[in-house]
């Protein structure tokens, strides 16, 4: 049976408000960024860490996964990677302190061609992080989206770690950016899926993933407007067929979290409550 989670930031109510809201909508667990705000990994130590664990216990919540997303271009730029790798190691350690063995992250856009110099830069960074994660029983879950499922699978296969690297499967990203067949993508990536995001969206017209993700990383590109190409929508209103998606996930043996991520919307609390009810109906939970 799947578990249902939610990204705390989606409520737009801060940490305390988000924890309370998560309990109110009836989810099993939460995910939040450990790289910004109140829950930055440098702040989650000592009394702050103890306080957060107590609050989660009081609300009956667990951490589905920690988000170790550093933004920008992920691990695409070699000169930035030494510090990012060390920071990610600290995030991994905090994850264990919070009772989860999964850290999700965007790594940037994996090039389709292995001869692209960036491919090795990203692979080297992920290998270093993955080796550390594996050594203490944690999995770094690379989020799907910028590239086709086959490219991501090949990338992780090439690195060759048995346990340290996995996938955070976000079906909306694959629909919005790559126009992927979601059940086929699930089947292809099944050996690596350790966490998922419950999100929906539509592709409005073909988009260059490199340009799209560069616009996110750089805060915009002159003449390029992401909203002309992709649109996130409430669960069940976009291009993700949740019936076939959840069926495909079940066939792989996955029984972990479906963590709701709502990145836009004027009434996030209402949207998330509807999303929780939607998922409960789909998986047969009251």
Does the pTM exceed 0.85? yes
Q: What is the pLDDT of residues 216-250, one digit of tens each?
A: 988 888 888 999 999 999 999 999 999 999 999 99
Q: At residue 264, does pLDDT exceed 80?
A: no
pLDDT band at residue 285 under the 50/70/90 scheme? confident
Confidence of residue 93 (pLDDT cuts 50, 70, 90): very high
**% helix, strand, coil for the chain, step of 5:** 50, 15, 35
Q: How far apart, in Å, are the Cα atoms of 104 and each of 32, 59, 62, 101, 222?
A: 10, 23, 16, 10, 30
Of 157, 155, 177, the C-alpha closest to 231 is 177
Name beta bridge partners: 32: 66
| Three-state secondary structure readout of 159-223 | HCCCCCEEEEECHHHHHHHHCCCHHHHHHHHHHHEEEEEECEEEECCCCCHHHHHHHHHHCCECC
- Phi and psi, residue 3, nearest 5°: -105, 155
Task: Quote the tokens at residue 228.
Answer: 């002309």
The predicted model gives 270-275 an average pLDDT of: 93
pLDDT digits (tens, 9 = 90+) for 2-23: 999 999 999 999 999 999 999 9
Asked whether residue 207 carries a pLDDT value surpassing 90, the answer given is yes
197 with 168: CB under 8 angstroms? yes
Q: Other C-beta atoms within 10 Å of 60: how many?
A: 12
Residue 266 has pLDDT above 80, yes or no: no
210 vs 111: CA distance, rounded Å:
9
Confidence of residue 268 (pLDDT cuts 50, 70, 90): confident
Average pLDDT over residues 145-172: 96
49 has a pLDDT exceeding 90: yes
Q: 153 falls in which pLDDT band (50, 70, 90)?
A: very high
Please report, for the chain, the start and end positions of each structural domain, with discontinuous segments joined by +: 3-283
**Overall fold of domain 3-283:** TIM Barrel (3.20.20)
Q: How much is the pLDDT for 48?
A: 95
Going by C-alpha positions, the residue among 108, 185, 105 that lies closest to residue 138 is 105
């Amino acid at each position: 049976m799947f578990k249902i989670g939610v990204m705390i930031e989606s409520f737009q109510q801060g940490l305390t408000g988000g924890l309370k809201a998560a309990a109110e909508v009836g989810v099993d667990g939460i995910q939040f960024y450990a790289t910004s705000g109140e829950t930055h990994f440098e702040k989650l130590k000592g009394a702050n860490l103890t306080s957060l664990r107590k609050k989660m216990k009081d609300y009956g919540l667990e951490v589905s996964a920690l988000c170790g997303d550093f933004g920008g271009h992920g691990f695409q730029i070699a000169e930035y990677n030494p510090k990012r790798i060390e920071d990610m190691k600290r995030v991994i350690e905090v994850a264990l302190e919070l009772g989860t063995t999964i850290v999700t992250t965007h790594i940037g856009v994996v090039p389709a061609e292995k001869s692209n110099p960036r491919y090795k830069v990203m692979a080297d960074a992920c290998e270093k992080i993955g080796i550390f994660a594996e050594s203490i029983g944690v999995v770094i879950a690379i989020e799907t989206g910028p590239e086709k499922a086959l490219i991501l699978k090949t990338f992780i296969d090439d690195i060759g770690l048995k346990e340290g690297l996995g996938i955070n499967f976000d079906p909306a990203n694959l629909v919005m950016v790559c126009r992927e067949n979601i059940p086929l993508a699930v089947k292809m990536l099944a050996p690596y899926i350790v966490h998922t995001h419950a999100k929906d969206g539509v592709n409005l017209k073909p988009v260059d993933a490199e340009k799209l993700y560069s616009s996110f990383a750089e805060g915009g590109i002159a003449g390029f407007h992401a909203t002309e190409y992709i649109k996130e929508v409430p669960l069940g209103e976009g291009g993700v067929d949740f019936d076939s998606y959840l069926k495909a996930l079940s066939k792989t043996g996955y029984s972990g979290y479906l963590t709701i991520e709502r990145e836009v919307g004027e009434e996030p609390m209402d949207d998330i409550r509807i999303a929780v009810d939607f998922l409960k109906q789909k998986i047969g939970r009251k």
